[in-house]
Amino acid sequence: MGKVLVQAKIDDGIKNEAVEIFQTLGIDTASAIRMFFHSVVNEGGLPFDLKVKDPFYSPANMERLRKSIASLEAGKGSSHELVGTEDDKDLV
């Protein structure tokens, strides 16, 4: 079976983070890519689920959380007792 060169353009930061992880695992980038391709063939598709990110981590929500934290750190907050339902009583 012949071999071919596969090229792809990818963001520098993502590539560098991935290379660090590969190094930690003791593999090089080419081996990781070969492993990915083999996994795609073995799985008959992508070897992971494609999902929309949790909306909690959306940029708008993260900005609101940063503002809320800053407000609390500036002393502009108040405390209250936890309020829940009868189903939550075992969580407290």
Q: pLDDT at position 32, please?
A: 97
Tell me if 36 sits within 8 A of 47, measured CB to CB.
yes
How many Å apart are CA 40 and CA 9, to the nearest integer?
20
How many Å apart are CA 57 and CA 63, to the nearest integer?
10
Q: What is the mean pLDDT of the chain?
A: 88
Q: pLDDT at position 51, please?
A: 77
- Whether the full predicted model's pTM is greater than 0.75, yes or no, is no
pLDDT of 92 higher than 60: no
8 by Cβ neighbours in 10 Å (0-12 / 13-18 / 19+) ranks as exposed
Least confidently predicted of 15-19, 33-37, 47-51, 77-81: 77-81
Once rounded to an integer, what is the mean pLDDT over residues 36-47?
96
Tell me if 22 sits within 8 A of 32, measured CB to CB.
yes
pLDDT of 45 higher than 80: yes
